[in-house]
Structure 1
């Protein structure tokens, strides 16, 4: 169970970064404010992910 949750978290992060990379490659400069929103959301997710991951690690030791 512990491995499954860790892998799931990493997959979500990798997919989010991949999606951002695709968006950055394809969108013109006009969408810059939207990119700033996406990056702030990603930072928010990563900040939330740290406590979640440590909680999961402690719970499934």
Structure 2
């Protein structure tokens, strides 16, 4: 009888999945840092702040 050869498919697939997950985690960390560092909304002036406060407080009909 011939010796059973071990398949290399499972370890290769596992390594690919692990590498893909690691890459996704790194991309998420980079995106979170970039979003936190960039202030997209920017500072609000007093007029805009008062308008938002008025809109939020006014009940809708």
User: Shorter-chain-normalised TM-score: which range?
Assistant: 0.3 to 0.5
Which is helix-richer, 1 or 2? Answer: 1
Q: Which has the higher contact order (CA 8 A, sep 6+)?
A: 1
What is the TM-score normalised by the length of structure 1? 0.42
What is the TM-score normalised by the length of structure 2? 0.42
Please identify the structure whose Cα radius of gyration is greater: 2
